[in-house]
Chain A
């Protein structure tokens, strides 16, 4: 189940905003499509993130792909635990598997993201 208090990006990333702090992760659909995640190349703290651009690289037994940043801002924290145990993303994509926290330049970008209903419709469409 996708949580209903999050905002979703079409590249299958989620955002949990609290003021200007945005916690970023990948969705359950993304982790399921990737399969067993074996490596994540985390951004460094103070990296400038841009909405729609790569935030991190992720590698699974099936594929390598990018995690796209859903918002713009500065990375202020990354989930270091993922470096040694990337499988946490598979186990808990919306909780312990969060990827990074971004201090957003502006919160208006959040309005451009999908809510849960739109995202689930989007995934259904994409799966067709």
Chain B
């Protein structure tokens, strides 16, 4: 069976590897670099920079940890970028090596559907190539969404693709959109010394998270002196000689050296031949698929950002695996019920499942536990006091429905909650499992106990 995958991000490359393991003859088409947004301009490069920023933040607290420094600490952005590029290059080579090892053919160029069993590849310097195939997986991903009034020029007005490759630290930056990407960049550049003003249309930052978690993040942003203006629109902008001027709907005028537009992602559905094959699309242009990742055209599958959904690399990878199984003649269904996710702000956020505001909207009767990192010895030993865990359990069945964490290592800690949900465990089971001491994971145990007001390290409630 010949399978052609268009796009090699975390959806496409994982699909290709899974299908190759299942015996398919796989060709991957990529018009940029293998790894897609995630590896080249998304998850991995931002986390590389954040690793540098974390070291910087700790270095600035050396005296707290009893370490003397002779001299001064200077962040070197060029050095951080060089390290980041090296990390990305290593991982790009890693995917290429995996492809080679599993006999996957990589064709570099832009793929376009030419029929239910043909994909044309337009290459940069050579003639187009037509690939005959049995099955196709579309995994073309997404790109930064743009506002027509702020076309990014890479100089004054930036998209996240530019921000990840900055040459110098700006004195000031306006960030439009206080979502995940905006907040992560705000934390990175603030630590480097940039004056940050974030502008958000919604009433708060990262409004997709549990409101208690997002308001705690807002407070942490405020501590860093990151200015957050919410509930306003941007009316206009004007690029001056060395500055960008922005007018907000509430009449406020802002001026900064750079403007970062981080208002979400646009799906890459244009110029890939969807129309000629009548592949069904949804209101946002997303390719519509069933739970086997099949489009309405027989033998054509779609996975990842291009089908809309949560726009998460790890969801795309699982969709890729499901599509690969089905393309190879097996039967696998996609299950979206448990999706953990990390936000790499400072402090980090890790969350899975039901948010409290969703429970209210859906009329689900929940019991809630809360636990602060600062109640535990390990948090003090680490010097990471800021943080909390919040668990939502079904009031009747006691099953864990949602786990929300803000604080050090939250993106790792959340997986215990995710596994509890996947296995359908009750908060009692989580609370009764012995958790190793001293660890931050004890917060999960204590928080699960707090659902029944039974956390050990909790002050006696006022009568």
Partners in one complex: yes
> Do B374 and A62 touch across chains, with their CB atoms under 8 A apart?
yes
Is the CB–CB distance between B380 and A41 below 8 Å? no
A41-B219 in contact (CB<8A): yes
Q: Which residues of A contact B374 (CB under 8 A)?
A: 61-63
Kindly state the separation between the CA atoms of A61 and B373 in the bound complex, as whole angstroms: 10
Contact status B372-A63, CB under 8 Å: yes
Specify the main secondary structure of chain B where it touches its partner.
helix
Check if B219 sits within 8 Å of A61, measured CB to CB.
Answer: no
Partner of A126, one of B219, B372, B462: B462
For the complex formed, measure the closest distance between the CB of A3 and the CB atoms of chain B, giving whole angstroms.
25
Q: How far does the Cβ of A55 sit from chain B's closest Cβ, in whole Å?
A: 15
Residue on B with the closest CB to A125? B463
How many positions in chain A have a CB within 8 Å of any CB in the partner chain? 9
Are A61 and B385 neighbours in the complex by a CB distance under 8 Å? yes
Would you call A57 and B219 a contact (CB within 8 A)?
A: yes
Per the CB 8 Å criterion, the residue count for chain B at the interface is 10
Task: Report A50-75 residues with CB < 8 Å from chain B CB.
Answer: 57, 61-64
Residues 346-376 of B, flagged 1 when their CB comes within 8 A of A and 0 if not, give: 0000000000000000000000000010110
Give chain B residues whose Cβ lies under 8 Å from the Cβ of A57.
219
Q: B93 in the interface, Cβ–Cβ < 8 Å?
A: no
Structural contact, A63 and B219, CB atoms closer than 8 A:
no
Chain A residue contacts of B380, Cβ below 8 A: 61
Residues of B within 8 A of A63 (CB): 372, 374, 459
| A23-48 Cβ-contact flags toward B at 8 Å (1 or 0) | 00000000000000011010000000
**A12 CB to nearest chain B CB (Å):** 11
Q: Which residues in chain B, 204-247, are within 8 Å of chain A measured between CB atoms? A: 219, 222-223
Contacts of B219 in A (CB 8 A): 41, 57
Cα–Cα distance between A57 and B459 once the two chains are bound (Å) = 19
Cβ–Cβ contact B222 & A41, under 8 A: yes
Point out the residues of chain B lying under 8 angstroms from A64, CB to CB. 372
Closest to A128 in B: B463
A31, chain B: closest CB distance, angstroms = 16
A37 → chain B, closest Cβ, in Å?
12
A61 to B383, CA, bound (A): 10
Closest to A35 in B: B374
**How many angstroms between the C-alpha atoms of A44 and B235 in the bound complex?**
26
Which residues of the other chain, B, contact A126 by a CB distance below 8 angstroms? Answer: 462
Q: Which residues of B contact A38 (CB under 8 A)?
A: 385
A61 to B64, CA, bound (A): 14
Cα distance, A38 to B372, chains bound together (Å):
15
A41 CB contacts on chain B under 8 angstroms? 219, 222-223
Contacts of B372 in A (CB 8 A): 63-64
Q: How far is the CB of B450 from chain A (nearest CB, A)?
A: 14
In the assembled complex, the CB of A119 is this many whole angstroms from the nearest CB of chain B, namely 16
- A41–B386 alpha-carbon span in the complex (Å): 14
| Cα–Cα distance between A77 and B349 once the two chains are bound (Å) | 34
- In the assembled complex, the Cα of A39 lies from the Cα of B219 at a distance in Å of 10
A41 to B374, CA, bound (A): 18
CB contact list, B176-213 vs A, under 8 A:
none
Q: Chain B: which residue is nearest A39 at the CB level?
A: B223
Max chain A Cβ within 10 angstroms of own Cβ: one of B380, B385, B462 = B385
Contacts beyond the supplied A38-B385, A41-B223, A63-B374: 7 A-B pairs with Cβ under 8 Å: A39-B223, A41-B219, A41-B222, A57-B219, A62-B375, A64-B372, A126-B462
B residues adjacent to A (C-beta < 8 A): 219, 222-223, 372, 374-375, 380, 385, 459, 462
Interface CB pairs A-B, < 8 A, 16: A38-B385, A39-B223, A41-B219, A41-B222, A41-B223, A57-B219, A61-B374, A61-B380, A61-B385, A62-B374, A62-B375, A63-B372, A63-B374, A63-B459, A64-B372, A126-B462
